[in-house]
Chain A
Amino acid sequence: MTLAAGANDPILPRPYRVHRVQKETSDTFTLELRPEAGQASFPFAAGQFNMLYVLGVGEVPISISGDPGLPQSLVHTTRSVGAVTKGMGRLQRGDAIGVRGPFGTPWPIEAAAGNDVVFVAGGIGLAPLRPALYQVMARREAYGRVVLLYGARTPEDILFRRQLKEWRADFDLEVHVTVDRATRDWRGNVGVVTHLIPRVPFDPYHTVAMVCGPEVMMRYTVMELERRGVQLEDVHVSLERNMKCGVGFCGHCQMGPKFVCKDGPVFPFEKVRDLLNVREV
């Protein structure tokens, strides 16, 4: 099967090849994709996602987890959970894959300049935040304290472990990791990520928070940030809904008056707080 070069058509996948596959944890992996020879890459913003099409299997929305400063490579990190992501996990260097995108709204990187920045990630939610971390680290002097609070299921489930260590050492990134459960071998924090919020130094009145993880975790995180004094208009969350077309045509990801694919996935919390409390939107 071949793919047309859908440079200007958001519905048409562009042909890419797998350049590198990196196993991250027992069930997560990172794919580095490059355009087919002769095809141009495209720029993207931190927080956006692509629709990745595994030939003959199907298409899924996956957040970009790579550096927006290096758009010639598209990097995506995901978990093998369904038919498509399992198929994606079996891809090897040189295999073809279709890419539509980039879609969606970005993290407020520029607006956060001059403030402390608090990233709160849960589980695989660190992947959509990593492009924002790249950008903040690239202009580290433009920000005050930069803190990453990261909750994982177990120590074995911690993503991007080596990179987090490097950022902590080289770029004055304060990293606090906690896991839900651990044996004695683990010397770090055990408990929920919200437990870390009152314990880290940042100026709540001059802080922009970017939060990504399971929705329950994000709701509790926002409560804790608010309790700490962070203004809700400075809290941004990345939502996850059943995205299909990526451009607001199909309505699969509609959430009340909003389409998560087009109006999100990154929203100021204030804009979605009421919608998050509705069980069936």
Chain B
Amino acid sequence: MQTLEPLIAEHPFMKGLRPEQIAMITGCASNARFEAGTYLFREGQEADQFYILRKGRIAIEAFSPAQGPVTIQTIDDGDILGWSWLVPPYRWRFDALATELTRVIALDGRCLRTKCETDHELGYELLKRFADVMAERLDATRMQLLDLFAEKPVRGGRR
């Protein structure tokens, strides 16, 4: 049976990790698929995994009674989904809905946390990578909060 190790090793998120670290991560990995319209997780549920999207699209949603589900961001091929498994209380902050048939590599967060506690070098390497993901999401959120496209152009602007 083909192992997930080469797929994980090739992913840009894992670039620079040593083969033995890749092997440790692979030990916590499994293949999964989600049909369009199914949820990978819902807000408040235990966050015990993260995902490498191989193919498909996932909408990160927030639900408000007034507006219903609102899509905050979509995640596509090659993206990383989920960092709540890394931060107490290990609960998802949002919903994640597969909007089309989506194939992922699912990584078991509890399994990885245990390995990171015993192998701090691996833990540090993963944290650095997730810090990047979180910084990108934070930047994006700040830009969305600015609501730039609703702004009036500069007085006398051309657009």
Task: Report A's interface with B, CB cutoff 8 A.
Answer: 49, 60-63, 78-79, 81-82, 122-125, 127-128, 151-153, 157, 178, 180-184, 186-192, 194-195, 199, 213-214, 216-217, 220, 240-244, 252-253, 265
Contacts and interface: CB of A to CB of B under 8 A. Distances in A.
Interface in B15-69: 59, 67-69
A76 to B, nearest CB: 9
Contact of A63 (B71, B76, B159): B159
Given A157-B149, A214-B148, A240-B157, A190 B140 contact: no
Contacts of A60: 156, 158
A182 B78 CA distance: 22
Contacts of A188: 74
Interface in B102-156: 136, 139-140, 143-144, 146-156
Given A78-B159, A79-B153, A180 B144 contact: yes
A190 B158 contact: no
B158 A81 contact: no
A180 B149 contact: yes
Contacts of B139: 192, 194, 220
**Best-surrounded residue of B70, B74, B152 (most CB of chain A within 10 A):** B74
A243 B158 contact: yes
Contacts of A243: 156, 158
B70 A181 contact: yes
Contacts of B7: none
Interface residues of B, number: 32
A81 B153 contact: yes
B154 A189 contact: no
A191 B158 contact: no
A243 B157 CA distance: 7
Given A182-B71, A189-B74, A191-B73, A122 B149 contact: yes
Given A61-B157, A242-B154, A151 B149 contact: yes
A79 B154 CA distance: 12
Contact of A194 (B73, B74, B140, B152): B140
Interface of B: 59, 67-74, 76-78, 99, 136, 139-140, 143-144, 146-159
A151 B67 CA distance: 22
Given A123-B148, A180-B149, A214-B148, A242 B140 contact: no
A190 B148 contact: no
Contacts of B140: 191-192, 194-195
Nearest to B69: A184
A153 B147 contact: yes
A184 B148 CA distance: 22
B96 to A, nearest CB: 13
Contacts of A157: 149
30 contacts: A61-B157, A63-B159, A81-B152, A82-B155, A123-B148, A124-B153, A153-B147, A180-B147, A181-B70, A182-B71, A183-B67, A183-B71, A184-B68, A190-B59, A190-B74, A191-B72, A191-B73, A191-B140, A192-B140, A194-B143, A195-B140, A199-B78, A214-B148, A220-B139, A240-B154, A240-B157, A241-B156, A242-B154, A243-B158, A252-B156
A54 to B, nearest CB: 14
Nearest to B152: A81
A240 B154 CA distance: 7
Contacts of A128: 158-159
A265 B156 CA distance: 13
**Best-surrounded residue of A62, A180, A216 (most CB of chain B within 10 A):** A180
A60 B68 CA distance: 41
A190 B69 contact: no
Top 8 closest A-B pairs, CB basis? A123-B149, A153-B149, A242-B156, A214-B148, A124-B159, A240-B157, A191-B73, A190-B71
Contact of A181 (B71, B148, B153): B71
A184 B136 CA distance: 24
A81 B149 CA distance: 13
B78 A184 contact: no
A239 B138 CA distance: 26
